[in-house]
Amino acid sequence: MKNLKSMSLISLLVASILSDFNSNEAAAQSNVSIIKINPKEMRHIGSVDERYQSYNVEMVEVVGGEFWKPYKLMDSLPSLNAASNYDVSQKNEQMYRKLSPANLADKR
């Protein structure tokens, strides 16, 4: 659980660093070096209570539309190379399924 909490904080830190880095126009034009982060060298800045739970509802699951297929519904999984080079602008029937809008009048 502690590793998960640490990874969440690290994710926020990395997102913040990358956001600042990407907004710096001068840095984008210069030679850019790779940023390396060693979590073991980071100091502890906060904790999340073990009782905290989070979940996510994708808007397409509410209003309907194209959404990722569960792995068990796919004929086969894409190769590692195909997955790493996947272009979301290209339609891939194998990876998506059509979801109907949620019935928001249903009390359940």
Is the pLDDT at 25 greater than 70, yes or no? no
pLDDT cut 90: percent of the chain above it = 19
Is residue 39 within 8 A of residue 14, CB to CB? The reply is no
Average pLDDT over residues 69-85: 78
Q: What is the DSSP letter of 54?
A: -
Residue with tokens 């070096």: 33
- CA-to-CA separations, 59 to 22, 62, 64, 66, 99, in angstroms, rounded: 27, 5, 8, 11, 11
What residue spans define the domains of the chain?
2-41, 59-99
Kindly report which listed range (11-15, 32-36, 82-86) carries the lowest average pLDDT score.
Answer: 11-15
